[in-house]
Amino acid sequence: MNKALLLLFGLFFFWLPLLTTAQSYLAGKLDSFMQAQVASEKFNGNVLVAQSGKIIYQKAFGYRNYNTKEVLDNQSVFELASLSKPFTAMGILLLVEKNQLKLSDTLRKFFPQLPYSRVTLQHLLTHTAGLPDYMDMLKNWSAAKAASNKEVINFLAESRPVAYFKPGEQWKYSNTGYVLLASILEQVTGQTFSDYLTKYIFRPLKMAHSRVYLSKQTGEQFSNYATGYVYSDRRKRYVPPDSLLTYNFVIPQAGIQGDGGVHSTTADLLKWDRALKKNQLLSPATQQQMLAAQVAIDPSSGMYVATGVQHYGYGMGVGQNKYGNYLWHGGNRPGYATNLIRYVAPDVTIIVLANCTTSDNTSQVLKISNGIADLVLGK
């Protein structure tokens, strides 16, 4: 063995213990931070931190079911809420690459009964369509019945609520747009949204614990499900959101998909993040479009002001802060708050999923994500 090779081996075995010690020290700092969040902020959920795809910290805190006192573990499955939108966007872009769709295709090509002209798939993907909020229809919906995408479309066609602005004129976060994208996907493929995502995204990426799950429609149950809870000030404990009048829209909304509906684990979401990094599903050119700054975000939009995101791609937020450029999406609905962010240059991925929330649940997961970034990337 020559001297150069002996030197390399020597350096490797010299630095390996130091590297292991540094990683253990960082994991300890992260755990101390998370234990403080559990103690002071009552955080209940799962966290994963990875560097270049390698997990450096992963842990579960609290219960997945408060009634039975079953605890969360790293395989627990959470509702992602709006963190589902990147998957919807991916489904559409896969069809674009197969020449089954074009970004210039109009909404009325698929749903001519809708009154919104000149709205394209590009507008729907980037939240620039100006469509009215479908959640307005839920105000008059039975609190005990789940609505569906078809019923949302029928409501828009029959009630013809006025658009907020002309397509492309402004930016406004739109759940309606992503409901329509999921419905377009079903119309074009002849498959359910759930089956399509399973076949072309979850299965190829070996995301074995991920699925589209509409519990209030099917009544289906599966193991290790993290049930969502909200804190009741009056009862002084966590309760299911549909047990409170304040959240009478929860059951109707639970049957709608595209803007939400995807359920997953922290480990599966890391596989998803690596797929975006490595162009595993899309060509490099299309993947670059998805993660590019397609449109500037309206600075008055509350959720995005909180995250610091300045632009939106196709189903992904694009931002920059003191640690550099990052890709982001989160989700929020009664009982769940989710957050996935990757800092591009250092390739650090942070995933936070919560299933017991307060009225300020979005800020809690953002605070945790930002605190982890400070520990991992801060100087």
Residues annotated as catalytic (active site), given as ranges: 82
Q: Which residue in 45, 38, 18, 49 sits closest to 376, CA to CA?
A: 49
The amino acid sitting at 223 is S
Both structure tokens of 322: 């003191």
For residue 353, the cross-strand partners are 46, 338
Which residue type sits at 15?
Answer: W
Contacts of 246 (CB under 8 A, 6+ apart): none
Q: Which residues contact 156 (CB under 8 A, 6 or more apart)?
A: 114, 115, 116, 131, 132, 134, 176
Q: How many residues does the chain have?
A: 379
What is residue 356's three-state secondary structure? strand
Whether residue 254 contacts residue 240, with contact meaning beta carbons closer than 8 Å, is answered with: no
Going by C-alpha positions, the residue among 350, 331, 261 that lies closest to residue 59 is 350
Closest residue by Cα to residue 27 from 55, 56, 59, 60: 56
A 10 A CB-CB count for 197 gives 27
Alpha carbons 312 and 319: distance in angstroms, whole number: 9
Token digits for 97?
A: 């690459």
Residue type, 45: G
Phi, psi of 136 (to 5 degrees): -65, -30
Question: Quick check: helix, strand or coil at residue 344?
Answer: coil
Measured CA to CA, the distance from residue 96 to residue 75 in angstroms comes to 33
Q: Are 99 and 288 in contact (CB under 8 A)?
A: no
CA dist 149 and 180 (Å) reads: 8
